[in-house]
Amino acid sequence: DGGITQSPKYLFRKEGQNVTLSCEQNLNHDAMYWYRQDPGQGLRLIYYSQIVNDFQKGDIAEGYSVSREKKESFPLTVTSAQKNPTAFYLCASSTLRGSQETQYFGPGTRLLVL
């Protein structure tokens, strides 16, 4: 089945530790996105990538890093510089045919700090 997968479903981070969230898509989409969701808040964009080996900062990129070495994969690293990482993280992808294609989302990863 075509879709977007995120792993793990739950992730625990210790103080000072970097952790990486996985996002893979087999939809042949060009663009991929990472969002953060906090309780009572909408989604906020962390990073996005429209092409392999290129990515742009979103609204809340500080304390996060990404890579886009393959079209199918867009991992997000939450670094120790992110002081409040507890949140729900959603990955999305879209084609770039047309002016604005719909974004489709993965099931999300819940990150908790120990």
* Min dist. Cβ of residue 81 to other proteins (A): 23
**Can you tell me which of 22, 50, 65, 77 binds other proteins, judged by CB under 8 A?**
50
Residue 98, CB-side half-sphere exposure with 13 Å CA sphere: 7
Residue among 22, 28, 23, 26 nearest 3 (CA)? 26
Residue 58 contacts other proteins per CB under 8 A: yes
Find out whether the peptide bond into 8 is cis, omega within 30 degrees of 0. Answer: yes
Q: Which of these segments, 17-25, 63-71, 74-82, 100-108, binds other proteins (CB under 8 A)? A: 100-108
A 10 A CB-CB count for 94 gives 20
Residues that bind other proteins (CB under 8 A): 33, 40-45, 48, 50, 56, 58, 88, 90, 92, 99-100, 102-105, 107-108
